Each structure stands twice: as C-alpha cells, then as structure tokens.
Structure 1
C-alpha cells in the first residue's frame, strides 16, 4: 500500500512539474510591421496578434510606421528585427509608391532574414516595394506588372509552367470565393492536413510574378473564372533565413472580422507558419474542426468583437 501511495505522489508531482514547465516555456517573439496599406492594416494586425497569442505559443508586438512620406518620425523609426524570432510584414504601398521604408531599415530586414530570421509576408504585403530588389528576392512572387519576373501556373498533374516576363498578364484576381486549397508539397506547416481543404472569401492571385528563386510552392487553387491553377502558399530560402508568403488573409476596409480570418484552416496555418519560421518545427496540432475539401469551418464572429475603424 505504501508503495502505491508513493507511486501516486510521484505521478502527481511529475505532472505538476511538467505543467509548470509548459507554463514557463519561452514564448516565440513576433513583430508585426504595419502603418500603411490599401487593405485594413489596423484590423489585420489586431486579428493576427489575437490569433497568434491565443495559441499560447507567441508574444506579439507591433511596430507602426509613420503615415506619410514626409513625416519627420521616419528619422527615428527603426524596428529592432533582431529582437524577434519572426517578422510579419503588413505594409503595402501599391497605391502610395512614395511611402517606403527607409533604406537603412530595408537593409536591416535583409540582414535579419539573411542571417537566419523568419519573415511572414501577409497577403497584400507581397504587393509592396517593387523597386526593392532584395524584397523581390525574399518574397519570390508578388503583385507585379506583366513585364516583371516569372509567373508560375500549374496543370492538373501539378506540373509547373513558368511564364516568362512579357508573356501572359500582370498580377490580378477575380471576385472572392470559397476556394479549395490543394497541397502539392508536404511540409511541417501542412503536416496532417487533408490533401484538400476549403477556405472562404479567397482571392486567388493570377500571374503572381517575381524572381521565383529558391522557392517551393506548398499549395495551389483553381481560379473560379479562368479555371487555371495558381500558387496560394510558397516558401523562399533567403540566405540562412526562411520566408513564407500567401494570398490568404485578405481583409478589406469595411470588413469586420471577416470569414477569411474566422476560417479555422487559415488560423491554424497562420499559427503553424509562425512557429515554423521561428523554430523550423511545428508542434501546434491540427484541430478536429479543420475544414475538409467539401466543408468550410468558421469560428463564431463573436470570438473577436472588433469595432469598425
């Protein structure tokens, strides 16, 4: 009887130590950079921060740029990328080309990624900075004109057709729709996902273009108008660092916690991407209510009761 009692006490004590260790496990440090975009960057940052921190894996900070090109605050804006495990890029100057990061900050990000940092290019952030050569290399594919870079199109057997500069079209997309994401390369990010899963209110980018170097496409989707197959998610190796880019995560002005951000598949992917960028591993489990090829899966809108900006 005494042995059994000691055994029970040992198990309880062990569980307590394990729980304490989990509570004190070092959180992954994430920095979101925002401040300007033709999308709703304020709500995008707020939802991204909440989704990541809910997982109990991350602590998320935000660095907001000055809002106009001639703001004197640019002189002192200097996000300390090296203090973070992952940087999430949430700025887009497609409609305001004069809004740019200072060259010193651009070089700082280049060095951060090249030396081993993780960069998450969130939705419209791949529209940004076409005249920043290293940024084009880091993101691999972006929203670019017809004459800039290569576009990647896939056939039904997942073979790639590389479309040269000047051929095809500039980057564009049709109306948002519920798209079936088809995994073509297994990776820690999508490990244990179904081969196909459906997300909501999706923009499938046609003719995303760029250097497309050191790039691996993880998933594709069929455009609802042309019925052609285009990349949805891809990763890029840049020096010792890792970059993830995706057209998922659209949030337009006037939307309030839209279905795209309530999608369990998108939220799970965002968490797993950030973990992989930081650690090269993924421990966050695929939830039981992850979407399937036939069925979407949305969290209740009341989970994030945000106000309109």
Structure 2
C-alpha cells in the first residue's frame, strides 16, 4: 500500500512538473533604439501581440543614443530563446550596434538561437556581412547580392548582382499573400490570404543562401511582378525569419497592417517556430481569406 501511494505521489509530481514546463513562457528580447520607422510603437505592439497569446515573456533592450554608451552596449542574448531585431540605420549609417554585440548575435544564432527580422530591420547594416548572411535578403543596392523573383508557376529565378534594380517598393496596398512553400509557420493557412496596407519589396537582395521562401505577392502598384514576402534562413544551427510585413510609419497609430489577424497570427507562429522549432498556436477561425480581410478593432491595442 505504501509503495502504491509513493508511486502515485511521484506520478503526480512528474505530471505537475510536466505541466509547469509546458506552461513556461518563451523568453524573447526585442532590440530597438533607432529606425526611420516608428520603432517605439512597433516594439510596443509586437510585445503586446506576443504576450497576449500567453506563450511569451518579452523584454526590451534599447540601444543607447549616446555614442559612448552605445559602444559599451552588449546584451546577453543567450538568456533568451528568441531575439527580435527592430533597429534600422538606413538613413543614419553611422548608427550601429557595438562590435561586441554584433559578434554576440552571430554566435547566438550560429549556436541555435532564433532571430526575427522585423520589417525594416532588413534595411539595416549593409556593412555587416554576417548580418547579410543571417537575413538572406534585404533592402540593398543592385550591386549588393542576388534578388529572387517568382513567376506564375511559382518557380524562383535568381537575379545576379547588377542585373535589374536595387530594392524598393511601390505604394502600400492590400496584398494577396500566396503560400509558396508549406512550413510549420503557415500550416493550416489558406493558399492565399489578404493582408492590409502592406509593402511588397521588389528586388530584395542579399546572399540568398540557405534560404526558403515561404510566401510571395504580386506587386500591383509598381513592377507588376511577383516577389518574396516571407522567407526563413538557416544560419549555423539557428533559424531566422524575415519579412516585409509589419510596416508601421511615423504618425500612424496601430494601423490596419498591424490589426490584420493574418499578420498577428504569423508573428506569433513565426516567433514560436524560431524559438522551439515547433508551432502550437492555432490558426484562428477568422483568419483572412483570398477574398476577405480580417482586422481587429482599432481599440484592441493601446500604447502603454
């Protein structure tokens, strides 16, 4: 009898411990501090989207504005399962991470860490060659790497450096996202779904190595061609997610691009996959379709 009781107690402890481990939030660090976009609001709404899901605990490190403090800035990325990169120096090339922080991020991802490149973060740091390898494609001049274009049969063409144009985009529009490659992030998504007021980059460029394009969209406002929208990159043992989704410009407040349920679902599922290699967050019943958008109410988020 005593032995049976001990077995029951031990079993209960194991079950409780398993539940506790299952409920343990994924630790996320958002890096921000400078951008030509509204980086403060982008950080706040991204943190809210993730924490509202109940799966993440999000911290923020802001790169110091003071140059001496910035040179000393060197966060310990190893404490987190996921880093979200939300800095962009396209208009101020002198604004950079400290070299020790660059090296620490490289090692973090090489050793298996997850890295989320948040919209304009792929415009950043053309001086940093390992960053180019991590992001796969970004906002670069025509001479700086290969561009990927998709045709009507969903075949991908590599465009050599100095062929075509540098990266750009036309007007924002309600893009029809087309799933190109099945992946845990988009498992259960419709083959096509509408997102709101977004940018489709034409001629996104970079090394384009160890890359998988997840989705694409027809650029109806400029080139009239199909370009990548989301892609993932393998860098060492780590995983990187990169996308042109998530535009939030100065003067906007929680715009439709961020209220899109397709976008918010993708943020959560991409973050989960980057951190764990798996996706458990379900595709909601009101996920957008090929013919209908799906937006959360304007008052569903308030700046803290």
TM range (shorter): over 0.9
In structure 1, the partner of 2:70 is 74
In structure 2, the partner of 1:252 is 249
Is 1:299 matched with 2:301? no
Q: Alpha carbon RMSD of aligned pairs, Å?
A: 1.7
Q: Provide the C-alpha distance between the structure 1 equivalents of 2:303 and 2:77, rounded to a whole number of angstroms.
A: 28
**Match runs of 1:68-107 below 5 Å:** 68=66, 71-107=67-103
Q: Match of 2:185, SS? A: helix
Is 1:157 matched with 2:163? no
Q: Provide the C-alpha distance between the structure 2 equivalents of 1:23 and 1:260, rounded to a whole number of angstroms.
A: 34
In structure 1, the partner of 2:19 is 21
In structure 1, the partner of 2:199 is 203
Q: Match of 2:201, SS? A: coil
In structure 2, the partner of 1:115 is 111
Counterpart among 204, 212, 215 of residue 216 in structure 1: 212
Q: For the structure 1 residues 24 and 118, does the alpha-carbon distance in structure 2 shift closer, same or farther, using more than 3 Å as the test?
A: closer
Q: Match of 2:46, SS? A: helix
Structure-1-length-normalised TM-score: 0.91
The alpha carbon displacement at 1:24 in A equals 7.0
1:260-307 per-position Cα deviation (integer Å, ceiling 9, x unaligned): 110000000000000000110000000010000110000001011238
Q: Provide the C-alpha distance between the structure 1 equivalents of 2:248 and 2:272, rounded to a whole number of angstroms.
A: 23
Q: Provide the C-alpha distance between the structure 2 equivalents of 1:112 and 1:195, rounded to a whole number of angstroms.
A: 34
Q: Provide the C-alpha distance between the structure 1 equivalents of 2:299 and 2:40, rounded to a whole number of angstroms.
A: 19
1:140-170 per-position Cα deviation (integer Å, ceiling 9, x unaligned): 0000001110000010001111111001000
1:159-210 per-position Cα deviation (integer Å, ceiling 9, x unaligned): 1111110010000001100000000100000000000000001100000000
Structure-2-length-normalised TM-score: 0.92
In structure 2, the partner of 1:63 is 61
The alpha carbon displacement at 1:75 in A equals 4.0
Is 1:134 matched with 2:130? yes
Q: Provide the C-alpha distance between the structure 2 equivalents of 1:49 and 1:23, rounded to a whole number of angstroms.
A: 22
In structure 2, the partner of 1:228 is 225
- Name structure 2 gaps, 5 residues minimum: 1-11
Q: How many residues align?
A: 290
Counterpart among 190, 194, 211 of residue 186 in structure 2: 190
1:25-46 per-position Cα deviation (integer Å, ceiling 9, x unaligned): 1110000000000000000000
- Name structure 1 gaps, 5 residues minimum: 1-13
The alpha carbon displacement at 1:72 in A equals 2.0
Is 1:30 matched with 2:41? no
Q: Match of 1:182, SS? A: strand
Q: Provide the C-alpha distance between the structure 2 equivalents of 1:82 and 1:24, rounded to a whole number of angstroms.
A: 21
Q: For the structure 1 residues 83 and 258, does the alpha-carbon distance in structure 2 shift closer, same or farther, using more than 3 Å as the test?
A: same
